[in-house]
Amino acid sequence: MNTKISKSNGYLVFGADVILFILAHLLSYGIRFEFSLTESSLHQIISVLPFIVLFKAFVFWRVGIYRGMWRYIGMNDMLRLFKAVLFSGLVIIAVMLFVYRFSGFSRAVFILDTTLTFLFTGGLRFCIRMFYQRKSSDQGFFGIKRNREKKPVFIIGAGDTGERTLREIAENPNLPYQVTGLIDDDSGKWGQSIHDVPVLGGIESLKHHTETYNVKEVIIAAPSASGAEIRKIVETCEACELKFKTLPSLSELIDGKVSIKAIRDVDYKDLLRRPPVDLYIEQIETYLKGRVILVTGAGGSIGSELCRQIVRFKPDMLILFDASEANLYNIQMEFRHRVGYLNCVTILGDVQNRAILDQVFRRYKPHVVFHAAAYKHVPMLEQNPWQAIHNNIRGTRVLMEETVRHKTQYFVLVSTDKAVRPTNIMGTSKRVCELLLQAFQGNGTRMMAVRFGNVLASSGSVIPLFQSQIARGGPVTVTHPEVTRYFMTIPEATQLILQAGALGKGGEIFVLKMGTAVKIAEMARDLIRFSGKEPDQDIQIVFTGLRPGEKLYEELITEGENIVSTDHRNILVLEPDLSWKGLGSQESFRQQIICGVDELCLLAEKQDTCGIKEKLKEMVPEYKVQDSECVL
């Protein structure tokens, strides 16, 4: 334990404590004997006081009472002080009993001494804390208000997060806020106050109180609120012409810490808030902790967040594999300088390169592979279908073959809802990857796929496009008024991928529950409002028509697929595909799929678009071929 006294102020407090030890003992005698001390009492005081003072000082020093920063004394410090006082008091009583048998001594004196010691030393620390708090706040030590220009604000949420936000604002003189009231829908809190700030009422009363207190801005301190609740708050704030900021959701606050520094503008993911993902930590640790993990596409949106989540489970080594030099460098620098995780290796290469993969597997012997590398942009791949074959299909096949050959324990394929009844090259290529997974399953490696929808803020996501269009003054382009998509945040998606990997026995396709589908047109309108503009007035929304390969509605499962629940409430599973049974054996099925992939690769080498689509249709009968033009 660190017992060093902290700077010169610590010595002053130490000296003050010694004086208080003496006063506590003298006052204990005074109270016990009604301030009428005999010569015998004075003799007792002189005989035991040096021991009492020295022993208390030693205990206080030994438990680290003097090593803290006095302006930040809190409950933990007071608890440590209480333990030190109680321990020293009990030991002193035990010594008096052993040495003197309490002959001639009053037991009440020593009980009073322990009580007064805590009150005096605790009171000293409380005064120090109040002095610094008053000194740094808008009020001087004597409560005289200082003239500082601060914005009056309301905090929405009178729970623990609201209290911490309020306290931090009050204690930080550099923040430009003055909290004048709290808003909370819990009627049991109305009329009460937190740190002398009243809880004024519910969200419905916001307009009335805004006019009364002349407030122009609110801070939403409700990290556990659902997306629907956040939407209601935002709509009310907009109706009252209030600016609004928020604290992150619980799923973003991984460490559980809330700080005023985390306050940010409300963005679209706040409207999609779902309950935080429940991770079965022990289950995930069994296949990640102390293991070597390979992540392909490690610099991309999904891959990089996968890596951040994996590091939490303390792998022995993390292999970052990516074809993009810039993305790989960025994630490497993040781990080195911000995360502080140094036990990672960066491999710049393509998953189609068998020689590089062979060397990676030979040298590092990964236990788990997460395959997140893929081309995902639907219109781009409609125009360049051969790249979907080379990168998505051939790359997955090569990686699976190396995984099986080197006896890797787990392989997790990141798939997509666009693989369900696909209408585009990208979705069909991912469905072929799922078929490859079924074909290779059963060779000693647990292989499973995870299928989910769109991810907010991922590369190619529609939200950055809308934001850039809004910044330019519009118009915002939406393909169709009725087009809907499922959305999930990147942390939520990657956490569920890790959980699905732990649940898999081999051959499954896991489906993540995506919540309610969102209309893209409504999303565009929300983003326009967040920018302080009015949709269809300040910024126009223009409908451009569905792009090649796009659907109006996305699906997560195909009709007839055998989907069942799992132990995790947010994850469903499609039972392993046994379609190979019609061919007599899984080996026959494997050969059929591999031959199909070989043909696709030959067609891709020749950029034969029609041939590629025909072969994909043969391998994936539910594929609805689109008549789209290619660049070559």
Q: Is the alpha carbon torsion for 154, 159, 163, 169 positive or negative?
A: negative
Do 366 and 507 belong to one domain?
yes
Do 346 and 252 belong to one domain?
no
CATH, residue 194: 3.40.50.720
Do the beta carbons of residue 490 and residue 455 sit within 8 Å? yes
Give the pLDDT of residue 146.
Answer: 45
Do 202 and 340 belong to one domain?
no
Q: Of 222, 240, 271, at which residue does a domain stop?
A: 271
Q: Of 136, 167, 190, at which residue does a domain stop?
A: 136
Q: Residue 168 and residue 160: Cα distance in Å, rounded?
A: 12
Q: Of 136, 159, 193, at which residue does a domain stop?
A: 136
- Does the global pTM surpass 0.85? no
Residue indicated by tokens 């004086």: 19
Do 112 and 171 belong to one domain?
no
Residue indicated by tokens 């409430």: 569
Give the pLDDT of residue 259.
Answer: 53
Q: Is 617 a catalytic residue?
A: no
Q: Residue 378 and residue 388: Cα distance in Å, rounded?
A: 10
Do the beta carbons of residue 235 and residue 206 sit within 8 Å? no
Give the pLDDT of residue 137.
Answer: 55
Give the pLDDT of residue 322.
Answer: 95
Give the pLDDT of residue 347.
Answer: 96
Do 285 and 180 belong to one domain?
no
Q: Residue 293 and residue 315: Cα distance in Å, rounded?
A: 7
Give the pLDDT of residue 143.
Answer: 46
Do 184 and 51 belong to one domain?
no
The DSSP output letter for 281 is H
Residue 143 included in any domain: no
Question: Which helix H or strand E contains 295, and what residues bound it?
Answer: strand 292-296
Domain count, the chain: 3
Q: How many CA atoms lie within 13 A of 511 on its CB side?
A: 22
Checking phi first, is residue 324 left (phi over 0); if not, alpha (psi -120 to 50) or beta? beta
Give the pLDDT of residue 255.
Answer: 44
Those residues of the chain that have pLDDT short of 50 are: 1, 140-147, 254-257, 260
Do 314 and 446 belong to one domain?
yes
Domain that holds residue 228: 151-271
Q: Residue 28 and residue 37: Cα distance in Å, rounded?
A: 11
Q: Is 199 helix (H, G, I), strand (E, B) or coil?
A: strand
Residue indicated by tokens 């594929």: 623
Q: Is the alpha carbon torsion for 220, 222, 227, 231 positive or negative?
A: negative
Give the pLDDT of residue 141.
Answer: 44
Please classify residue 361 by burial: count the beta carbons closer than 10 Å to its beta carbon, then call 0-12 exposed, 13-18 middle and 19+ buried: buried
Write out pLDDT tens, residues 52-108. 999 998 988 888 787 766 665 667 778 888 998 999 999 998 988 888 877 778 888
Identify the active-site residue in 418, 430, 551, 613: 418
